[in-house]
Amino acid sequence: DVWLAYVPGGDVLTSWVGTIARVKIKDRARLEQGIDRFLDRARMELGRNRQVGPVIRKTACGDQMIQFLSVPDEEMPFAPAWSMTDDYLVVGLMPQSVKTFLTLRDRTLSEGGESLADVPAVADAMSTSDGPACIAYIDTERVVRGLYPLLQIGARVVCGTMQQEGIDVD
């Protein structure tokens, strides 16, 4: 009865792609049974009268299984995904978002972090008598986090095009 949404940090234009929602499971066996019935029906409908069409795929993330809807269509840049842990149902727009949540769920993310001056390479450079004239720093993680959602959409479009051509790509 309580849904939690996680929106990753990053720029406003792309960070929402990595958003996931999580809800606590009260009866996992019953939920699995309901999802299995829904998926059986969905697979039957998706497979009807189509050579190449939407399919439900699976991918592993540690001991968890992530399922997602793969639609071979350039106009469908997302692959809605879901996974069940022992306690939660996790859903997202992309399997990568669900995987990120499952991978990080047990880790404690630190607030803040070290100063740039504490990085050994910078500390060594600063300790010399003539020191550097300039220090440049690029937050590679932040850059990648900003580009990664766009990469996911691009990969989804490429996969959809390949699937339309009959190439079974996950």
pLDDT digits (tens, 9 = 90+) for 102-139: 887 544 333 334 556 667 777 788 788 777 776 666 67
**pLDDT classification of 42: cutoffs 50, 70, 90:** confident
Structure tokens at 158: 């490429």
**pLDDT classification of 68: cutoffs 50, 70, 90:** very high
Q: How far apart are CA 102 and CA 84, in angstroms?
A: 10
Structure tokens at 29: 């066996």
pLDDT attached to residue 109: 31
CA dihedral defined by 78, 151, 19, 75, rounded to 10 degrees? -20
From the number of C-beta atoms within 10 Å of its C-beta (0-12, 13-18, 19+), residue 163 rates as: buried
Taking residues 22-39, report their average pLDDT: 90
Query: SS3 for 103?
Result: helix
